Structure 1
Amino acid sequence: MAYRNLSGHFAAWLALIGLVLSGIAPVAATSAAAAVFTAPRLEALTVADVQKVIAQAAGEATARGRKATIAVVDRVGNVLAVYRMTGAATTMRITAPSQIPTTLPSEAGAIAKAITGAYLSSGGNAFSTRTASMIVQQHFPPAPSTPGLESGPLFGVQFSQLPCSDLNTRFPGSSAPLTAMIGPKRSPLGLAADPGGFPLYKNGVVVGGVGVMADGVYGFDPNVLDFDNDLDEIIAFAGLQGFAPPIAIRADRIPVDGTTLRFSDASTSKLHPLKSSFAALGAGAGALIAVAGYYAGTSILPGVAYGTERSGFRFAKASDFSNPEAFVLSDGNGVNRFPIRGGADAAEVGTALKPTEVRAVLEEAFKIMSRARAQIRRPLNSPAQVTISVVDSWGTALGVVRSPDAPIFGTDVSLQKARTVAFFSNRRAGDLLLADPDPGVASTVSATRAFLADPAAFTGKTAFSNRAIGNLSRPYFPDGEVGRPNGPLSVPIAKFSPFATGLQTALIAKTLGSNRCTNIPLAPSGQQRLANGIQIFSGSVPIYRGNTLVGAIGVSGDGIDQDNMIGFVGLNNGGLKVGGIGNAPKPMRSDRIVVNVGVGVRLRYISCPFAPFLDTSIQNVCEGL
């Protein structure tokens, strides 16, 4: 930056002018009188609540002459119960093309569905696994009549919350529940797109999720134009009764790009009379089962209230972050798990990100979030709520902050996004991919270089945003256009499914259940560069000091264009605030690349909402930055 050698006051004055000219007026520190966010009330599932959910679901299965495995989790993914009805299948199958194992334990599917309902939902939106199915496929909305439309807005999110994630915590079976239940927890299969998972609410507050596996198939719904009689969904819907979200925030009240989302194809009219007594099920009806690494199986547990120290999420202290409305992740003893710190990669980048720089970027991104209009949150004109993560060029987490009611899924995803961008913009990206021994990983380097007609791709010459990596990860390029070739980081459409997305799944195929998400060589510090996998939908940009990559910012939670804007403009403003860092130089950005696929198609870098702010009608806020 040209301001770095100016005196402090003059540099600050120029930074202020830059903020005004960019259309992003500086935001004063939030005071108690001008609070933007309200933290959710402290609500949690009791043992009796969990018993009722299971009894209702098992009762519906019995009435239909079927057997099910039923899982219940709290908001941060702690497994409170896994109940298998006597005679229920112990395995399930993936029938679509898959890069992961196709025969899996049924309890893994039930837990993943329950976690999906809990993690994708908040006080402003209630999403189910049917909603997830709709937003992760190759066309949005998915239906036989929609070829040619772009992929779902959260394409690839199913491979988040992975069991190998270093962010999500693990249930140590030998520990006492109070110690073991400090979240957020991992999911055995990431997020599920198979109908049969719902969020659970108490007094309008999301407190967990229920997931069911009964039909033996772990899949997705390729056609949203019809209404299904899905066995898993109907049984889970019975369990939902008494814990349903407010109608106003259900997915079927929320449009995205002109299409209203789906919450459920089940309805109360399809249910048999509810059976709510767990004791009445009887010993022969089924039993709790242990799931290694997730649930001890000895007793039903109560959930923890999100926002308490036990949940692993709490309000930031003054020493954690300047904005008192922010939430951070805590270790259960009051210690911030991801405190703001400097980068560990000085030996490679020269001057690593400094704690003051990381803090400035996080603070400015938090301000932009506080002013932004949410896309998927009700009521209308609510402020966006997201998680914001900053990493160094090796993927080391340098700080994570979030708004109080941001969906839980965005915590892991924001870190995935930041690491993805830092990795692919790194000068060693190509060499590191080539050094991965897993099939299908190394070949993407030559495929990308041929596709871009650039033998120097993935050598640091280009700053890749997550939107650009997403462009290259679609089974059609340009996105959605039938008859076009697949991007080099994807598989061809004939081999594609939500279980086979290309490099994203190839990276984790051999390591999914381990404590390491990929076999990419470690950074010199020992840091796993992609320690929770990669993410391939928008919401992250790299951080540069001049022409040198020094890190990345990732944002997730409330609409992909909102995520894009919060990271991109927040980084711009943070760089102006401290001097010396900022967005990638324009000549390096991925939107300078034109791909020849019969016609010239330009890669994208960012895409921001047209008029996104609640406090001003200013438009095109990212233009010129």
Structure 2
Amino acid sequence: MFRPPTIGGRFPKPSPTKRQMTAKSFGRRWRFSFAAFLCVLAMAGLSSLLQSSRAQASKLVLISHETSTRGIALDSVTLKREPFDPTSEVSWGNDNQTRIMLFAIGLDPKTPPSAITANAEDGSNKTYPLTVEYVGPVPEQDWVTAIVVRINEQMGDIGDVLVGISYQGLNSNRVRVGVGHVGDGPPDDVGAVPTPGTIAPPVGASATAGTLTTSDVQTIIAQAVSAAASLNRAVTVAVTDKEGNVLGVFKMTGAPATTQFRGGGPGPSQTPSPITGFVSVGFDGTVVPAKLAAISKAGTAALFSTRGNAFTSRTAGFIIQEHFPPGVDFKSGGPLYGVQFSSLPCSDIKVPGLPLGLSGDPGSAPVYKNGEAVGGVGIEGDGVYTVDRDPTDFDQPIEEVIAVSATRGFEAPSLIRGDNILVDGIRLAYLNVTGAPNTATIAFGSLPGAIDPLFPIRSAQPSQFTAAVVGGIAGEVDTHFFPFIASPTVTANSLTAADVNTIISHAAQQANITRAAIRQPLGSNARVSIAVVDTNGVVLGVFRQTDAPVFGFDVSVQKARTAAFYSGANAATLLRGAGFGSYVDRAAADGLKLDGSVAFTDRAGGFLHRPFFPDGINNSQAGPFSREINEWSVFNTGLQLDLIKTNLQTVSSGGAAPCTSIPGLPNGIQIFPGSMPLYKNGVLVGAIGISGDGVDQDDLIAAGGGAGFAPPVNIRSDQVFVRGVRLPFLKFPRSPNL
């Protein structure tokens, strides 16, 4: 049985007039601390810690969270996690300094506390000695030792410190702990990684984008085709890996060769060109090859899904319409309104992109192996590329039924499915399928149809990302945008590489303590992509936290570029020069000059880009950047689509072009929240964009990253009124931190 430590003899007798910590109460607290420790380890990845503990036994290792170098640490009295107040409500004899409990591997629990030294280094490189007051075992966990240290009296609200211990000439790794607040600390030690060693080195070799094998791909396709044949339907099936790389396309005999855009909104469909398949305004009526729709559906399910959430193209369609939930009047637009025009084939960020961007057309499902998101499958066969305008009718499209059959044996864990995730109290859509065919699977070589020669069967492709640790947070980078760089346009106030590292580090640290909105289990932290650009839209750095949804990588850059563009002095001139003067005129009629006098976030820009203004208020005029509601659909949003349409047609026809003709917007703009323009000495120097979790969380993380670089209050968009309505700037979630 665990015997609580005896510490009363080391402290004077408690005064009866104060709340004090005695040996007896410490013992009770320690038992609770043990329980809390196990809970924390469960969140940090207990199984991986156990697996590597023996390998670490010859080292002195302080345990960190699985995805960052932040230490597993608890206030030894309150059991709260960081940040830790320097002083405690509980008096420990002659002092009331807070005691922090850390956990180590490779240290004998019988080691005398006096034999161990500990210290902490703050952001100014000042070092503080920490007194070690207790060393002991953790009940039923003989691989780990508990250590209690006292915060130094000179440590106030100093933010992050790096804490390490030493014993008999062995120095541990140093873990990050927040004192007073989280952030503003020193950089991680060179080569520092989350411990005990389950995360790859700071920049490692590329892995593959998931673990789908050629046999897996053939099985998924065979199950889809067999189900379709049993239903007497002919379809096209596409499979992608988790980063959207196409792993195979199969067209059944008799499957429709094309499909037509029909956004389902009140906007009219037009007759497409018999040569190009495109229409003159928007995309409604456009005809495209069916295989492109199947690929975009599969890629959407893959790019949206993670260990913490599984989404489909139906989920996407549910969150991009003019009201949320769709069909409910006087509700604001979907939280990801506009995301359909991201991860485009013309993007300079997400390579490869999806041929039609992200899809809202039901008929896809994510692919999982052992709880890990590894890809997606998309089905096209009804000749219509659309969104579900009435989610209340619970229609069951044949494409979606076949997608469910395709993923038999590759299903997402039930807990993380979209229909187990609520946003603003609204349960998200996932799949409208109550029963899918479970017929005998036809042998792959006997399937009725053929593999598309442009998309042969293959296994998961090399990943776009390599492992990295930034600001103590584990994640991934694309080496095209790493190491972080300074703005190539050098001015007295331009962003330096150190600025970019600080901004991205602070954003990652904020994300690591921000309560996620769309991840299970509840209590998970947000996982996002973070991008910083300069005033010309040049990418200075992008960082993706471990398991952040891949779609956010492109979107975070779109958001940053959009905020920098709208906040710049030349926005009106550039738009007019590119042929979009009508939008400039409409904005000017609303008192918006687009001349750099207003600091716009994407929340503000998106507010101006809705078919109702204010957002969601039926029977009102459209915002200055949107189509009016009688013309609007998800495929005819206004300026966002008009900017990319011509060049997207060029790329879709086999040509090469950036997404827009405006140099600072090569992957298009984004119109849902999660960005902030950045300023130094009152001068615009760039913007930060965040994407991957709830949009309010994205705003909060953007603000955390941009701390010290925020725009002057008097020019923020929330100081501006349009048609008597105050524009928004940022919106934060209630009780955001874990």
Q: TM-score, normalised by structure 1?
A: 0.82
CA contact (8 A) 1:36 1:370 kept: no
Cα distance in structure 2, aligned partners of 1:535 and 1:198: 25
Cα distance in structure 1, aligned partners of 2:197 and 2:523: 12
Q: Is 1:606 aligned to residue 730 of structure 2? A: yes
Other structure's SS at 1:225 match: helix
CA contact (8 A) 1:37 1:404 kept: no
Deviations 1:115-143 (A, max 9, x none): 00000110100000010010000000102
CA contact (8 A) 1:37 1:403 kept: no
Which of 540, 552, 570 is matched with 2:675 structurally?
Answer: 540
CA apart distance, 1:66: 1.3
CA apart distance, 1:38: 7.4
Q: Is 1:559 aligned to residue 694 of structure 2? A: yes
CA apart distance, 1:277: 2.8
**Count, aligned residues:** 538
Q: Is 1:115 aligned to residue 299 of structure 2? A: yes
The aligned residue for residue 280 of structure 1 is: 446
The aligned residue for residue 502 of structure 2 is: 360
Deviations 1:71-92 (A, max 9, x none): 0000111101011111111110
Worse-matched range after superposition: 507-516 or 68-77: 507-516
The aligned residue for residue 446 of structure 1 is: 585
The aligned residue for residue 321 of structure 2 is: 137
Cα distance in structure 2, aligned partners of 1:339 and 1:276: 49
Cα gap change, 1:42 to 1:300, in 2 (>3 Å): closer
Cα gap change, 1:276 to 1:388, in 2 (>3 Å): farther
Cα distance in structure 2, aligned partners of 1:42 and 1:218: 27
Letter in 2 for 1:118: A
Q: Following superposition of structure 1 onto structure 2, how do residues 145-156 of structure 1 map, counting pairs within 5 Å?
A: 146-156=328-338
CA contact (8 A) 2:473 2:508 kept: no
Q: Is 1:312 aligned to residue 464 of structure 2? A: yes
Q: Following superposition of structure 1 onto structure 2, how do residues 98-497 of structure 1 map, counting pairs within 5 Å?
A: 99-100=282-283, 102-143=286-327, 146-169=328-351, 185-267=352-434, 269-275=435-441, 277-281=443-447, 285-290=448-453, 296-297=454-455, 299-304=456-461, 310-316=462-468, 321-323=470-472, 325-330=474-479, 336-346=480-490, 350-437=492-579, 441-451=580-590, 453-454=591-592, 457-497=593-633
CA contact (8 A) 1:196 1:212 kept: yes
CA apart distance, 1:322: 4.7
Other structure's SS at 2:365 match: strand
CA contact (8 A) 1:539 1:560 kept: yes
Cα distance in structure 2, aligned partners of 1:38 and 1:247: 27
Other structure's SS at 2:472 match: coil
Other structure's SS at 1:494 match: coil
CA contact (8 A) 2:473 2:545 kept: no
CA apart distance, 1:326: 2.5
Letter in 2 for 1:446: D
Deviations 1:95-118 (A, max 9, x none): 234613611111110000000000
CA contact (8 A) 1:142 1:222 kept: yes
The aligned residue for residue 152 of structure 2 is: none
Letter in 2 for 1:117: A
Cα gap change, 1:593 to 1:42, in 2 (>3 Å): closer
CA contact (8 A) 2:238 2:249 kept: yes
CA apart distance, 1:42: 8.5
Other structure's SS at 1:326 match: strand
The aligned residue for residue 22 of structure 2 is: none
CA apart distance, 1:279: 2.4
Letter in 2 for 1:115: G
CA contact (8 A) 2:559 2:689 kept: yes
Unaligned runs of 5+ in 1: 1-7, 170-184, 291-295, 305-309, 331-335, 522-527, 576-581, 615-625
Cα distance in structure 2, aligned partners of 1:611 and 1:273: 49
CA contact (8 A) 1:63 1:272 kept: no
Cα gap change, 1:41 to 1:203, in 2 (>3 Å): farther
CA apart distance, 1:25: 3.6
Cα gap change, 1:265 to 1:37, in 2 (>3 Å): farther
Deviations 1:300-330 (A, max 9, x none): 10114xxxxx21212117xxx4536121114
Cα gap change, 1:449 to 1:316, in 2 (>3 Å): same
CA apart distance, 1:274: 4.3
* Larger RCO (CA under 8 A, 6+ residues apart): 1
CA contact (8 A) 1:423 1:529 kept: yes
User: Percent identity, aligned pairs only?
Assistant: 41
Cα gap change, 1:37 to 1:448, in 2 (>3 Å): farther
Unaligned runs of 5+ in 2: 1-122, 127-155, 161-179, 201-206, 268-280
Q: TM-score, normalised by structure 2?
A: 0.70
The aligned residue for residue 590 of structure 1 is: 717
Deviations 1:28-63 (A, max 9, x none): 667756789979999511111111111111111111
Deviations 1:3-34 (A, max 9, x none): xxxxx9699xxxx97979xx954376677567
CA apart distance, 1:430: 0.2
Cα gap change, 1:35 to 1:223, in 2 (>3 Å): farther
RMSD: 2.5
CA contact (8 A) 2:209 2:374 kept: no
Bigger radius of gyration? 2
